[in-house]
Amino acid sequence: MQNSAATRMQLSTPRACGCLELRDIFGSHFDLSMPQRPTSSLAACVWIPLFPLRCEEARREGLASHPTALLAPDLSRKLWQVSPLARHTGVRPGMTVSQAIGLCPTLRLCEPDPVHYDERFARLLAALNEISPVIESGELGLAYVGTDGLEGIFGPPEKVVKAIECVVRGTWCVRIGLGRGKFAAWVAASRAKPGEAIIVPPQGEKKFLAAQPIAVLPLDPDTHRRLRQLGIRTLGALAALPEEAVTAQFGAPGRQLWRLAAGHTVEPVIGRNAPEPIVAALTFFTPVGERDLLERALDQLIARALKHPRRIGWRVQAVRLRAEIEGGRSWLADILFKDPTADAARIAAPLRTRLEQAPPPGAVERLVLELTAFAPGTAELQLFARDAVAAARAGQRRALESAAREIQQRIKRSCLYHVIEVQPWSRLPERRYALIDFEP
């Protein structure tokens, strides 16, 4: 769990943003020459382990006092999350239902409701947003709060932690860690007892990290095994090795691990922009179970969402497909596009695959498509980008102009040219085309 959370934390680190002037999805101006998203090097990690299971316990009275397990949100019918009481009886995630019942006959099984978990997590993030504008979400139940400057509002770090606790603790039993950079904060949260907080003092990160086991690093099993075989049990032991030696043994990932262990890597919390999603929904007269019908409905929803006026000039970066299933259950598929797109077929493809490989576990009463994140398709005002192709073309042109400007600034003279037609009809080849300085 620790490993997976730490890995997710690294993966969720956003890329640097460009330096352009754009309009945002709501049409208001913003200047990307300033960082597009707010950041904070001081981080508080708020962690609620087994968040989906806790959501079930919160809405079903008495469930917490029984050994409980949550089924995986796919068709495998294997266990996804297991409560500590169930774990004591030997039940583990990944087991089949029959194996688990064999070990613990009183085990209570819950069907997953990912939409509910997502909504609860969104509410948690919104609550944290009242403390700080810089919130970064990790996996379900893991969030980072940027705390730079909060001492002016709340006072010393202890008071900041108290304020966070006040916001979330009424509902959840959280673990909080506070330190410089997300990694130190995450490690502190993972070492804190339930309902407690660990604050890593400024400049004390190295000392704090040195005593932690290597399992807190985002390691693959092979690297973990090799480190243990080398007798390295703590981050301090790893950091005590020369950086070059670790790099030589484990390559670039090893260097990253060494830098994390030595406290040299300080990943800031990067706040999110949460534009209002574009939503298209379809309610079926009778619940639908056939995949063909669902796919047809999906195509309709995508077409409808892409036609939305706010989408024009923007490419879609993330979509979410939700299904409300008869019997009060739900199904959820989140897709993040590496290459943002405005092409209906490209948006539909991964969702179709998801419908095929992990279909809703029952007949669907309502299907909802949300376009949740967007990337600019153009640097021009979005009004001028009439369709996705024009938007993409304008985006390419802008990228070219930006690169040309940078080259010109670096070498102080023009060395890029357009080829232009001068007398394309001429019988003398040298008169047909000419070069002209490229001035972006």
Partner 1 sequence: MVAPSRAPLRADRLRALNVPQSVAVECDVEDRPQTVGDVTVATVLESWRIDDEWWRQSITRCYHEVILDGGRRVVLFEDVATGEWFAQMP
Would you say 37 or 432 has its CB closer to partner 1?
432
* 330 vs 378 by CB, closer to partner 1: 378
**293 versus 436: smaller Cβ distance to partner 1:** 436
Q: Which is nearer to partner 1, 220 or 437 (CB)?
A: 437
Give the range of 91-99, 143-151, 217-225, 430-438 binding partner 1 by CB under 8 A: 430-438
Closest separation in Å from C-beta 346 to partner 1: 26
Closer by beta carbon to partner 1, 292 or else 421: 421
- Structure token digits, residue 56: 């079930």
Using the minimum distance from each CB to partner 1, give the nearer residue, 13 or 423: 423
82: which residues sit within 8 A by CB, 6+ positions away?
53, 68, 69, 70, 91, 92, 93
- Helices 157-168 and 114-129 meet at what angle, rounded to 10? 140
Complex with partner 1: residue 56 or 380, whichever CB lies closer:
380
In the DSSP assignment, the letter for residue 29 is E
Scanning 53-61, 82-90, 380-388, 423-431 for contacts with partner 1 by CB under 8 A, the matching segment is 423-431
- The CA-atom distances, in angstroms, between 141 and each of 48, 61, 219, 260, 386 are 5, 21, 21, 23, 40
With tokens 């077409």, the residue in question is 303
CB of 424 to partner 1, least distance (A): 10
User: CB of 340: closest distance to partner 1 in angstroms?
Assistant: 24
**Spatial CB neighbours of 342, under 8 Å, sequence gap ≥ 6:** 306, 311, 314, 315, 316, 377, 387, 388, 391, 392
Smallest Cα–Cα separation from 280: which of 306, 314, 309?
Answer: 306
Considering the complex, what minimum distance in angstroms separates the CB of residue 401 from partner 1? Answer: 8
Residue 186, H or E segment: helix 182-191
Binding to partner 1 in span 383-422, by CB under 8 A:
417-422
Instruction: Please give the span between the terminal C-alpha atoms of the chain, in angstroms, as a whole number.
Output: 50
Return the residues of window 87-146 that contact partner 1 according to CB under 8 A: none
Q: Does 307 bind partner 1 (CB under 8 A)?
A: no
Least distance to partner 1, CB of residue 393, Å = 10
CB atoms within 10 A of CB 252: 8
31 sits near partner 1 (criterion: CB under 8 A):
no
Which H or E run contains 42? Answer: strand 42-47
- In the complex, the smallest distance separating the C-beta of residue 419 from partner 1, rounded to whole angstroms, is 5
User: In the complex, what is the shortest distance from the CB of residue 389 to partner 1, in angstroms, rounded to a whole number?
Assistant: 15
Q: Does 438 bind partner 1 (CB under 8 A)?
A: yes
Q: Residue 378: name the closest of 15, 16, 21 by CA.
A: 21
- When asked if residue 428 is in the footprint of partner 1 (CB under 8 A), the reply is yes
The minimum distance between CB 32 and partner 1, in angstroms, equals 22
Structure tokens at 372: 């949740």
CA 372 distance to own-chain centroid:
12
Q: Site residues (CB under 8 A) for partner 1?
A: 417-422, 427-430, 432-440
